[in-house]
Structure formats: structure tokens, C-alpha cells
């Protein structure tokens, strides 16, 4: 039997488990627990779980396992653990492997909640964390040392779309035996194969492209079977951040169309970046596959497409950015990303509001910066919407 199916085939079929009824669409096993024929069966299952056996939904569930197996097949990972949100995945992956005295090196340009875990939580438990400019390989080299147990980064940063050189950073980490954890949300599992590039553990907020329709929170941790079942699972199943079966079903159905959606979104994102580049109202357009992006060559070496996010630096600061946002007719003002609906965000006053102006400046988040998550609407309509709103600036 052929088992090296291409991506779209895996996204539709991988991991499917059918009940005795032979249902076509994946079943939602909305059950917290499982019944045993005999007391001896119960005892045996608590001693060792067989291949298709479950005991409690916090530990595992058939619908959740389908999602884990399907995304592991997509990513090319040995195994996956599904979590209640993207943040449960980030905190679970890090906390399950770290202990007091360990050292972590992380890129500085992080999602606010990731920064909270690294800066506030880990420190309280005696883990020291150094932050570096993720685009500066010399800074990684200087920060990674014999004490370093883990290296963390968002492979494409939010909202300035900086690109981490995964191969180079992983090589430095592996020299000292550190585990490389990549938050790959912005790059998407469709456009970047982070494990092949050298990462050991890959994390997604499934809330973003995987659901892709703004319905549910979810996350997933991918890695070797030893890491997922030996390190992550015991921690997650006892601390409670597991995914619900209903959410897993939403994410399974999201995976079926993930490749189609991401490709349509990336095509529009690229067309938008080209159309806006050079517009008089904009001081810069940030898109990894634009030749003006400072890491264009690295982005093209690592990614199959430039992704679904475009950031615009609008001349005239916050007032001009707000005029632009308020003039949009199709694109929504909100703060999710990866959604079928296009969404515009003003990071300085929303997602990155809590940072000081100095911190924002060091991350390149100016008052005129607008982040656009490109959806699956008609490309020409999206370009019209953006060009029309830029006239209002
Ligand atoms: C959204 C996001 C998260 C957190 O995911 P939730 O599902 O909201 O918990 C983590 N990392 C990145 C890069 C994100 O965009």
C-alpha cells in the first residue's frame, strides 16, 4: 500500500478512524470516558494502553487522536499532542521539558502571551531566559551556551514578519544539545517544513489557519514520539490543557481545506504586497517574498510561498492608520489571523499596546503599522478595498 501521499490527500484522509458504522465524515466522540467489558479489562487498560484504546478524554480521545495523527502526517512529525489553545501548546512544550537552573534563549519579537511565559512564568521557577534579535545569528551564537536547554522563536515574527534562519539557529542549539522549539503559526504548516530545517519541536495555534474560520481555540505540539509521549503528554494530561473532542472535529475539518485556503490567501497576499509597494501613502510594505524584504533570500530558501500576512507602515502615524482602518469596507478590524475573512489590526494600540513605546520601537512596531491577515475573498476586491482606504489616509 502506498503511504507517502501528497499533502492534500493526507489533509483529507490521514488519521481517520471509523466506527462500526463506517461513517464518511469523522465522528465527534463527545465522551469524557470509556466503558470496559470487565474489571480485568479496566485494570489491563490502566496498566498499558493498546493502539486504539482510551481511558479518559484529558489523556486522549478518538476524535482528538484523529486530529493529532492528521497534523503529524502533514508536518512529517512522529507524533503530536493537541492542546486547548495555542498558548497551552507553547507553555506545555516549554514547561514540560524545563527545570530550575536551565537556560533558554529566545528571539525578542514574540506574541505577547509567549513573552509572558518566557519572561514572567519561567523566571519564577528558576529558569533563566535571554532574549536576542532573532535575525542576528551572531547574537544567537553569543547567547547559546552549555547551560542552554531550549531555544525558542516564532519562525516569522508578529507583526513585522522577520524571518528566523532555522537551519543556522538549530545548528548552534544542537552543538550544545539544546532543543529547538519553533512557533510556526505565521509560516503555516503548508509553506514551511520546520522539522526538516532543523527544529525539534513545532507548535501551532490551531486557532489561526488550521481552523481558519474563526470558530475555536486550539493548539498542537509536534515532535518525536519520545518527546510527545514521554515528555509532553504526561505533563499535559495531568495539568489539564487537552483539546476538547468537539474542537478536534472543527480542526480536522479545517485541515481538509487548509492547503486550498493557505494557497489562495498567499496568492492574494503577494498580489496585495505588489500592488501597495510604492504607494505614496505608505512608507513600507512588509512581505517576506517582496524583493524589498531585507531577508527575502532567506524567506525564499525556507518557505514555499510568502505566507498570508502583509504589514503596511502608513505615513502619518496613528491618525493616518486609523483613517485607513476606518475606510476599509471588506477587510474587518479585528485581531485574529489566518481566517477566511481578511482582518486588519493596529498592533500599537491593540495586540502590542502593553509594551512601552521604546519596546515597540525596538521591535519596529511604529504607530503607522497595520497588519493585514489576508483571507480567501476575491483578490481584486481586496486590492480595491486597500487602495480605496489608502486614499482616505
Ligand atoms: C495566536 C498565537 C499564539 C497563541 O495562540 P492561541 O490559540 O490564541 O492561544 C501563539 N503564537 C502565535 C505566533 C500566535 O499568533
Note the pLDDT tens digit of each residue in 319-329: 999 999 999 99
Name the residue with the closest Cα to ligand 1, atom 6.
86
Q: Report in angstroms the alpha-carbon separations of 206 from 160, 210, 221.
A: 21, 5, 10
pLDDT of residue 297: 98
Distance (Å, whole) CA 219 – CA 207: 7
**Do 7-256 and 258-390 come out as alike in CATH topology?**
no
Q: Yes or no: say if 273 and 289 are a contact pair by the CB < 8 Å rule.
A: yes
Bridge-based pairing state of the strands 128-132 and 309-314: unpaired
pLDDT of residue 177: 98
User: Measured from the CB, is residue 185 less than 6 Å from ligand 1?
Assistant: yes
Name the residue with the closest Cα to ligand 1, atom 13.
185
The alpha carbon of 73 and the centre of ligand 1 are apart by a number of angstroms equal to 22
Name the residue with the closest Cα to ligand 1, atom 4.
86
Q: What CATH number is given for 7-256 in this structure?
A: 3.40.640.10
Name the residue with the closest Cα to ligand 1, atom 7.
86
Distance (Å, whole) CA 111 – CA 336: 12
Global pTM value: 0.97
Q: Which single residue is written with the C-alpha cell 497551552?
A: 88
Distance (Å, whole) CA 36 – CA 177: 43
Q: Hey, is 128 helix, strand or coil?
A: strand
Q: 258-390: what fold?
A: 3.90.1150
Atom of ligand 1 nearest to the CA of 208: 1
Q: What residues form DSSP beta bridges with 180? A: 151
The alpha carbon of 205 and the centre of ligand 1 are apart by a number of angstroms equal to 5
SS3 content of the chain, % helix, strand, coil (to 5): 40, 15, 40
Which among 154, 158, 160, 207 is the best mutation to test ligand 1's pocket, defined by most ligand atoms within 8 Å of the CB?
207
User: Measured from the CB, is residue 204 less than 6 Å from ligand 1?
Assistant: no
From the list 384, 20, 84, 59, the residue with the least C-alpha distance to 238 is 59
- How many other CB atoms are found less than 10 A from the CB of residue 375? 23
28-48 as b/e, with b when 16 or more CB fall inside 10 Å?
bbeeeebeeeeeeeeeeeeee
User: Measured from the CB, is residue 205 less than 6 Å from ligand 1?
Assistant: yes
Distance (Å, whole) CA 169 – CA 155: 11
Atom of ligand 1 nearest to the CA of 337: 15
pLDDT in tens, the chain (393 residues): 666 899 999 999 999 999 999 999 999 999 999 999 999 999 999 999 988 899 999 999 999 999 999 999 999 999 999 999 999 999 999 999 999 999 999 999 998 899 999 999 999 999 999 999 999 999 999 999 999 999 999 999 999 999 999 999 999 999 999 999 999 999 999 999 999 999 999 999 999 999 999 999 999 999 999 999 999 999 999 999 999 999 999 999 999 999 999 999 999 999 999 999 999 999 999 999 999 999 999 999 999 999 999 999 999 999 999 999 999 999 999 999 999 999 999 999 999 998 899 989 988 999 999 999 999 999 999 999 999 999 999
Domain-by-domain residue ranges, the chain? 7-256, 258-390
Amino acid at each position: 500500500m502506498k503511504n507517502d501521499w501528497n499533502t492534500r490527500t493526507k489533509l483529507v484522509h490521514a488519521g481517520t478512524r471509523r466506527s462500526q458504522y463506517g461513517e464518511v465524515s469523522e465522528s465527534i466522540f463527545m465522551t469524557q470516558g470509556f466503558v470496559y467489558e470487565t474489571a480485568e479489562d479496566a485494570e489491563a487498560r490502566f496498566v498499558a494502553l493498546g493502539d486504539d484504546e482510551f481511558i479518559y478524554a484529558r489523556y486522549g480521545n478518538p476524535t482528538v487522536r484523529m486530529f493529532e495523527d492528521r497534523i503529524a502526517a502533514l508536518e512529517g512529525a512522529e507524533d503530536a499532542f493537541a492542546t486547548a489553545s495555542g498558548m497551552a501548546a507553547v507553555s506545555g512544550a516549554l514547561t514540560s521539558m524545563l527545570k530550575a537552573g536551565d537556560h533558554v534563549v529566545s528571539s525578542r519579537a514574540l506574541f505577547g502571551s509567549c513573552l509572558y511565559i518566557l519572561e514572567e512564568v519561567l523566571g519564577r521557577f528558576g529558569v533563566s531566559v535571554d532574549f536576542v534579535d532573532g535575525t542576528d545569528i551572531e547574537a544567537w551564537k553569543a547567547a547559546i551556551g552549555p547551560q542552554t536547554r531550549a531555544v525558542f522563536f516564532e519562525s516569522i515574527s508578529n507583526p513585522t514578519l522577520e524571518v528566523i534562519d532555522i537551519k543556522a539557529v538549530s545548528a548552534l542549539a544542537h552543538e550544545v544539545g539544546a532543543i529547538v522549539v519553533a512557533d510556526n503559526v505565521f509560516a503555516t504548516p503548508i509553506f514551511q517544513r520546520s522539522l526538516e530545517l532543523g527544529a525539534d519541536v513545532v507548535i501551532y495555534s490551531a486557532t489561526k489557519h488550521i481552523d481558519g474560520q474563526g470558530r475555536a481555540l486550539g493548539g498542537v505540539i509536534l515532535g518525536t514520539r519520545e518527546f510527545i509521549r514521554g515528555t509532553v503528554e504526561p505533563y499535559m494530561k495531568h495539568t489539564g490543557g487537552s483539546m476538547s473532542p468537539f474542537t478536534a472535529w472543527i480542526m480536522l475539518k479545517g485541515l481538509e481545506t487548509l492547503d486550498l485556503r493557505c494557497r489562495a490567501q498567499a496568492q492574494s497576499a503577494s498580489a496585495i504586497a505588489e500592488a501597495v509597494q510604492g504607494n505614496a501613502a505608505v512608507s513600507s510594505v512588509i512581505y517576506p517574498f517582496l524583493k524589498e524584504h531585507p531577508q527575502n533570500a532567506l524567506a525564499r530558501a525556507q518557505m514555499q510561498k510568502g505566507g498570508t500576512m502583509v504589514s503596511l507602515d502608513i505615513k502619518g502615524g496613528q491618525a493616518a492608520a486609523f483613517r485607513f482602518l476606518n475606510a476599509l469596507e471588506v477587510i474587518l478590524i479585528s485581531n485574529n489571523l489566518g481566517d477566511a475573512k481578511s482582518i486588519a489590526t493596529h498592533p500599537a494600540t491593540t495586540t502590542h499596546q502593553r509594551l512601552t513605546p521604546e519596546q515597540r520601537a525596538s521591535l519596529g512596531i511604529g504607530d503607522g503599522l497595520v497588519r493585514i491577515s489576508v483571507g480567501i475573498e476575491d483578490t481584486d476586491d481586496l486590492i480595491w478595498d486597500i487602495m480605496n482606504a489608502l486614499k482616505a489616509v
